[in-house]
Amino acid sequence: MKNLLIVESPAKAKTIGKYLGKDYQVVASFGHIRDLPSKEGSVEPDKNFTMHYQVSLKSTKHVKDIVDKAKNCQKIILAPDPDREGESIAWHILEVLKSKKALSSATKVERVVFHAITKNSVLEAIAKPRNIDMDLVNAQQARRALDYLVGFTLSPVLWRKLPGSRSAGRVQSVALRLICDREDEIESFVSQEYWDIKIALETEKKEEFIANIFEVNGKKLEKFSIVNQIQAQEIANLLQSKKYQVLSITKKQTKRRSYPPFTTSSMQQESARKLGFSASKTMMIAQRLYEGIEIDGSSQGLITYMRTDSISCSPEAISAVRDKIANLYGKDYVPASPNIFKSKVKNAQEAHEAIRPADFNISPDKVRNYLDKDQFALYDLIWKRMLASQMADVLFDQVIAEIASIPSYAKAKAIGSVIKFDGFYKVYREDRDDHVKSNDDEDVDEEKQDLPVLSEKENLNLLKVNPAQHFTEPPPRYSEASLVKKLEELGIGRPSTYASIISVLQDRGYVVIDKRRFFPEERGRIVTTFLKEFFRKYVEYDYTANLEDQLDIISNGEMEWKNFLKKFWNDFSLDTSTIMDKPFAEVLEVLNQKFGEHIFGRDEQGNLKNTCPTCSTGKLGLRIGKFGSFIGCSNYPDCKHTMQIFGEEGHNEDGEIKPHFEARSLGKDLKTGYEIVIKVGPYGPYIELQGSEVEDKVEDNSQSDKSAEKNSKGKAKKTSKNSKKSTQKKPKRISIPKNIDPATIDLAQAQSLLTLPRDLGIHPETGQKIIANIGPFGPYLLHDKKFVSVKEDNILEIGLNRAVDLIFTALQKKEQKNNQQSNQSGSAKKYSFKGKTSKAKK
C-alpha cells in the first residue's frame, strides 16, 4: 500500500475513498483519539504546564487499526477537518504513530485540508499538501489546558461552598450569566404606560387610510408624551372637532440588501427560527451533508465545511452562483457586480469560506429523494441563502403623506410602501428574533398600508379617532438563536463550541428550554450569583472575549502558548485559594444579601419582609443543603419552616416562570375558628390549620441505650422492644394535590381538604377500616397498614365500594409481581450453596 489517508469520520472516509484510486486507503480516526483524562494532574502548571494525554478507551481499536496500516505504507496523509480541532487531531495521530514506532525514516507525512467533499476539491487538496500548523495546534492545546484548569479548579470550590452544584466552566459560566442577567432584567423591569393616537381618514373618492398623530400644538410627540387615558382622551376630543387636509407628499425609492451566506452561528440561528432545530441538531445534520450523501451509487458532499465564521466565498463559487441565478430567474436578478459583505463578528478568523452548496448544479429538488426530511430542510435553507446572497436588492416605492388639521392643532403621517422589484425576496427572507429591526433595513417596512392616490391640499374627511393604550415590555428571554447571536457579538466561544455550550448548561441542570426560551433554574441562578460575587473577573464578558483574542494571537504565531497559560494561572490559582479559605457563613451572608430583596421584597420602611410565618420570631434566609438550595428559618432546628426559593420549578402555558408564593392566610375555619394558612414545605405546598393540635408519634429509644449499639458484625441492631413512642403536638396539615394550583386555592377548597383523612367504612372481607387521605406523595388509601395510591379518583369524593375495588386491584398486581420474581429466581435455587447464589453454568 502506497498511501494512507486519515480523516475523522467513516462517512467522510467512504466518500473520499471513491474519489481516490487504488493507491490510496482511507481510514477514519472516529474523532479525537487522545484527550486529557478527567482526573487531577492531567495538566501540571508547576512543570511548565505539561499535559498528560491518554488514548481514550473508545479509540483503542481505531488507533490499533491506524498504526497497523501505517507500518505498511510509504506516505501518510493527515486530513482531519480544516480548523484548530482538526489540526489538533492530525497532530495527536502523528504523535501516537511516533510513540508506537509506526513510522520509518522513509515514511512521508503530509497534511491536507478539504473545504468541501467533492471530487474536484479532494483532488485539488491532495495536490497541495503542507506541514501540520503547530501554531493552530498550540492554540488548541492552550484552550484545552485553560478549560481543564478552570473546570478542575473552580468546580471543587462550588462543591464546597454551594453543595448541590454541578460544575463551572470557562465559557459555559459566562453563557449562564447571560441567561441569568436577562432574567434579573425581566424581574426588575417596571412597565410604563404610554398611548398613541391614530386617525382614520377618507379621501374625496371615498378611499380610506390610517394616519399616526406625531405633533400636537407644535410639539413633536415622543413615546411617553401621552402617559394616561385622560391625556389621550383630551387630545382625541380636540381632534374630533377638526377638519383635515394633505399638507405634503414625499415619494422615494428605498431598497433592502441581501443577507450574507451562512456562518456557523447564523446557520444555527436561522435553522432554529425557521426549522425549529436546536444548535446541536443543526450541526449534526450539517456534518452529514458535508461528509457525503449516497446519490446514485456514489457518495457526494453537498456543502462546504460547516464550522466557520467567514461570510466570504471563493471567486469561483461567486461566479458559479451568479450564473445559476441568471439561469433560474433571469439577468435582472443578478446585480451588476458581486455583493461583497463585511463581517460584523468580533474576532472573526475567516479562515474558511462561508457555508454554501459544494456544487450549484445539485439543487435541493435533485437530491430530495436521497435526503431525509431534516437533511432536505437544512440543505434547502443553505442553498436558498447562498443564492439570495448574490441576488439583486429588493426595491420599494414609498409614499409619505403629511396631514394637518384645520385649524392648525395637530399633524399626522401616513406611510405607504409597496415592493417594486422583489430581488432576493424571490428566493429567501430571513426571520428575525423578537421583532428586532435590522440596521440594514433603511427604515423600510413592507407591511405598511397601500395608500390611495393623494394630492397636496386635498381635503379629507375624518372617520374615527382611535387612542390606543400600550405598555413597555421587558426584554425577551434568550432563544437558542439569540443566545448564539449574543455570544458571537461578544466574541465569546467559537463556531465549533456554540452547540456544546448550550448542551452543557442543560445537562448540568442550570437552565431549561421551554417554548424555545431559556429559563435559569434555581441552581443556575445561585451559581451565577456566587461567581459574580467571588470570581467576577472570570465571568466578565470582556475578559472572556479577551482570552479568545489571545488564543487567536497564539494561532497566528504571535504569542507563546505556555506564557499565556502562566499569566492566567498565576492570577486564577491565587483567587481560587482565597475564596476556598472564606468561611461558609460569609458566602451565605453575601448570597442572602443578593437574593433577600428579590425573594422577600421590602415593606414601607425598607425592611426585608422575611419574618418566619411559622414561629414569628425567626428570619427566613437562603440555606444550602446537600441536595440544593432552599429558604429556611433562622430558628432551625426549633422551627423547621422551609420553602422553595423561586417557587415551583417549571413554567406555565405562556412560557412564564410560575410565581413563587409566600405563606398566606386563606381565612378562618367555619367549624373551629382557627386560621387556615397555605405554606410550602420540602414536599411542596400544604394547608395548615393553625392553632389546632394533632398527635405526631415519634419513636423514643432513650429508655434503652443498648438499642443503639452495633452487633459483632458491625450492623445496627433492630429497635429494642423497650423503646417507647412519644407524641408531640403539631397543627393539622394536609398536602395540596398537584391538580390544584396553590396560587389560586380558596377557603372553600382548603376546608374540603381539611376534612381529610376520611373514614370510608369497614372493608367487607377483612373487617379493617379504609381511610382516604393525601400525603407528601399524593392521594392514597390506608387499609390493614398498607397504602394504595389513588391516581385518577377524587380523594374527597371516593366511596367505600370504589375503594374496595382499588385495594383488590393493587393486591392482584402485587401478587403477579411476586410470582414473576419467584419464577425468575427459581432456576437459581438449585445452584444455591450455603445461602449464596452461584452462577449457573452455561
What span, in angstroms and rounded, lies between the C-alpha atoms of 559 and 578? 29
DSSP strand E in 47-157: where? Answer: 50-51, 54-55, 75-78, 108-111
What cell numbers appear for 31 in the block?
Answer: 474523532
DSSP string spanning 197-209? Answer: EEEEEE-TT--EE
Closest CA to 349 of 549, 111, 161, 86: 549
Helix (H, G, I), strand (E, B) or coil at 324: helix
What span, in angstroms and rounded, lies between the C-alpha atoms of 148 and 528? 20
Closest CA to 350 of 207, 200, 208, 555: 555
What span, in angstroms and rounded, lies between the C-alpha atoms of 249 and 531? 58
Q: How many other CB atoms are there within 10 angstroms of residue 106's CB atom?
A: 7
Q: Report whether 122 contacts 114 (CB < 8 A).
A: yes
Q: How many other CB atoms are there within 10 angstroms of residue 432's CB atom?
A: 13
What cell numbers appear for 664 in the block?
Answer: 398566606
Q: How many residues does the chain have?
A: 842
What cell numbers appear for 528 in the block?
Answer: 451565577
C-alpha separations of 711 from 700, 707, 717 in Å? 20, 10, 6
What cell numbers appear for 376 in the block?
Answer: 432536505
What span, in angstroms and rounded, lies between the C-alpha atoms of 425 and 388? 8
Amino acid identity, position 159? W
Segments in 313-363 forming alpha helices (H):
315-329
Active site residue 305: yes
Q: Report whether 426 contacts 391 (CB < 8 A).
A: yes
DSSP 333: G
CA dihedral 525, 503, 537, 630 (to 10 degrees): 20
| Burial class of residue 687 (count of CB atoms within 10 Å of its CB; 0-12, 13-18, 19+) | buried
H/E segment holding residue 827: helix 800-829
What cell numbers appear for 7 in the block?
Answer: 480523516
Closest CA to 214 of 253, 247, 251, 252: 247
Contacts of 594 (CB under 8 A, 6+ apart): 529, 533
| Burial class of residue 178 (count of CB atoms within 10 Å of its CB; 0-12, 13-18, 19+) | buried
What span, in angstroms and rounded, lies between the C-alpha atoms of 834 and 529? 58
User: What separation, in Å, do the N-terminal and C-terminal C-alpha atoms of the chain show?
Assistant: 45
* Backbone φ, ψ for residue 469 (5° rounding): -90, 140
Segment 589-594 long-range contacts (CB within 8 Å, at least 24 positions apart): 590/533, 590/534, 591/526, 591/529, 591/530, 591/533, 591/622, 592/621, 592/622, 594/529, 594/533
What span, in angstroms and rounded, lies between the C-alpha atoms of 309 and 619? 53
What span, in angstroms and rounded, lies between the C-alpha atoms of 615 and 625? 21
What span, in angstroms and rounded, lies between the C-alpha atoms of 615 and 679? 13
Contacts of 29 (CB under 8 A, 6+ apart): 6, 7, 8, 59, 62, 63, 66, 80, 89, 93
Exactly one of 194, 259, 290, 305 is catalytic; which is it? Answer: 305
Q: Which residues are catalytic?
A: 305
